[in-house]
Amino acid sequence: MSVHRGTGLLQHRSLNFADDFVAADFFENGAGLHVESSIVVNLSSDRLIIDDAIKTSIAPWRSAMLSKATIEQSGRIAVLKVCKTVDLGGVMFRGWDWLGNRIRSFPRQTPLFISPQDTIGEVELDPLFFTGEVAVERQMQRFVLKLNLWWSPAETDCFIHDKPSLPGDPHADIRNRPHAEIPGERPGDALSRCPHGAGLYL
């Protein structure tokens, strides 16, 4: 993935689930980054500002597909791009784990796989404000921010999509257009369903 701030190379690192199929990079500060065509995930509590004739933004803890765009102002971000689609679904051969190996009650017939996880730092927020349960921040708490990808084939029902996700779970649909959701840290938090096509999610 080519990433530049002006004429200098932008400081970043590859996330530990990046491979030949998915490019995945983490930036502590994405200001000045020019994005040709990638998913950009805003991993902060502030809006990400895109430099354009008409100023646009990515809301906190949300993502967007950017094409030929330059980021004017941001905190932490992840930038992801599918580089190779043939055999993309062979994640179990690339070190990904089937969720049933971690959750005994997970349906034995459901093919949902999780990539290696990458810890990128800590974040401080009010979980009730974050989930919209209160209008004003009251009690700030620290959370460890971790990223991973999920993969499920077409027509996979991950069975617990109707439950809320944890604070600090950004949503990014990397491969599948119909729907995107992120599982939480605890078994039973939100998972995904991809009714029309195979899904790759952050």
Task: Give the pLDDT mean for 75-89.
Answer: 91
Token pair listed for 134 = 């209160």
Q: pTM here?
A: 0.78
The residues, any chain, with a CB within 8 Å of residue 165's CB and separated by 6 or more, are 181, 182, 183, 184, 189, 190
Higher pLDDT, 96 or 188: 96
Q: What string of DSSP letters covers 64-111?
A: EEEEEEEEEE-SSEEEEEE---TTTT-GGGTT-EEGGGT-TTS-TT--
**CA 117, CA 16: separation in Å to the nearest integer?**
7
Which band of pLDDT confidence, cut at 50, 70 and 90, is reported for residue 182? very low
Whether residue 112 contacts residue 98, with contact meaning beta carbons closer than 8 Å, is answered with: yes
**CA 168, CA 142: separation in Å to the nearest integer?**
10
Quote the pLDDT of residue 78: 94
Listed range (17-31, 66-80, 116-130, 174-188) with the worst mean pLDDT: 174-188
Strands (E), the chain: 4-5, 8-9, 13-14, 22-27, 34-42, 48-51, 56-58, 63-73, 77-82, 97-98, 113-114, 118-125, 141-147, 150-152, 156-157, 193-194, 199-201
| Percentage of the chain modeled with pLDDT above 70 | 73
Strands of the 97-98 sheet, one edge to the other? 97-98, 113-114, 150-152, 199-201
